[in-house]
Amino acid sequence: MPHSRLKNLNLTKGIIRMLIDLASPINLSYLWNLRSILRGLLLSQVITRIFLAMYYTPTSLQAFDSTVNIMKDVRYGWLIRYLHLNRASFFFMALYLHLRRALYYSSWRSSHVWSIRVTILILSMATAFLRYVLPYRQMSYWAATVIINLLSAIPVTGSTIVIYLWGRYSVSTPTLNRFLSLHYLLPFIIILLVIIHISLLHRYRSTNPLSIRSDANKIPFYWGYITKDLYRFLIVLTLLEFVLFFHPHLFSDPQNFIKANSLVTPTHIKPEWYFLFAYAILRSIPNKLGRVIALISSLAIFYCFSPQAFNPHFLAPSSILRKILFWTFIHIVLLLSILRALPIEEPFIFLNSFLTPAYYLFLTAILFSSI
């Protein structure tokens, strides 16, 4: 059917406007392809989650054995589980790079778009934490015990919240049932937020490397950027296949090959790599309530970038000072992640306690440098 006749169909107008006629800046770099990569990874994660849920048994006695059954007895179960496991790491790599790009090019000028982006990050981390606990492995069991038990520091209602999340007085079968329900529900909420995010992004328009706002320097999204998105996505799939078939346990901890044992505590409790910077901030605070506040504020502070009070004409990192602040902040996050992966001993404890206030200091400096 000719393109002109397709436009007359109501069902295709929105798709054509989004994928074909959308006016896009002519100078977008590969960093802007991360949005399409994230959408592809998110949808594929939801599909594999549905298949894995068919064979998973959410009980403390059978959860670990059901994952072993998926790997050994279910046809191509090992492939689906390894895909789901490693693709989560690739998803967070792309998500962190996407947020880094948005922070570098001051994409918070649209408060609604930025707020939804931060909310998607928080919900994605919550979903990943739930997935981490479900196999009922040694490291994931104790990570859930430590993290959820922190909520008991909340005045008045803290202990009630912990017992409600656990279902009992420790991580057990009711906990796995609750986590499975939330793990199945949250991705659909994330997809809804992604749809809202895309619609708002098309309304307020995207930034670009040179911060040019002129509508004269734009091209249709089709063919130029669709082919670029497909090309980048194929590269990511190639890297994912390499990890999947040659190093499937690259992002896994050896303790997670052991069934959960409530009587044996691991020497060092370490979460997945994409939680390390937040867990490092948490461990640097001696007070229990302070740890809860630090953990929440390490992500909630990004909401401070969204108000419309910022200079609407400021877009790109035009000053040397902002570049120094930004890249110093990125290195602080990397160092926090590396330090949390190391044993809890000196001098790592001192460096961790030094870098935690630096995390907030440099992020606040970036915030005020944009006013």
What pLDDT digit, counting tens, does each position of 315-360 carry? 445 577 878 888 899 999 999 998 887 777 788 788 888 889 999 9
Burial status of residue 4 (CB atoms within 10 A of its CB: 0-12, 13-18, 19 or more): exposed
DSSP assignment letter at 219: E
* pTM greater than the 0.85 cutoff: yes
Average pLDDT over residues 71-82: 91
Q: How far is CA 77 from the centre of its chain?
A: 25
Strand, helix or coil for residue 182: helix
Average pLDDT over residues 32-43: 87
Average pLDDT over residues 68-74: 91
CB burial readout 259-298, b (16+ within 10 A) else e: bbeeeeeeeebbbbbbbbbbbbbbbbbeeeeebbebbeeb
Q: Is pLDDT of 2 > 60?
A: no
pLDDT at 309: 41
Read off the pLDDT of residues 269-293 as tens digits, 9 standing for 90 and up: 788 889 889 888 888 888 888 888 8
Tokens describing residue 210: 């040179």
pLDDT at 315: 44
What the chain holds in terms of domains, given with CATH numbers, is 26-202+215-265 (1.20.810.10), 272-370 (no CATH)
Q: Is pLDDT of 9 > 60?
A: no
List residues with catalytic annotation.
202, 206, 228-229, 272
At how many degrees (to 10) do helices 111-133 and 288-300 cross? 130
* Confidence band of 303 (pLDDT split at 50, 70, 90): confident
In the chain, what is the straight-line distance between the N-terminal and C-terminal CA atoms, in Å? 51
> d(Cα 360, Cα 317) in Å, to the nearest integer?
19
Phi and psi at 228, nearest 5°, equal -65, -40
* Confidence band of 312 (pLDDT split at 50, 70, 90): very low
Average pLDDT over residues 245-269: 84
Read off the pLDDT of residues 80-126 as tens digits, 9 standing for 90 and up: 999 999 999 999 999 999 888 888 877 766 677 888 889 999 999 99
Q: Is the dihedral of CA 362, 354, 291, 133 positive or negative?
A: positive
Q: Is pLDDT of 308 > 80?
A: no
> d(Cα 116, Cα 130) in Å, to the nearest integer?
21
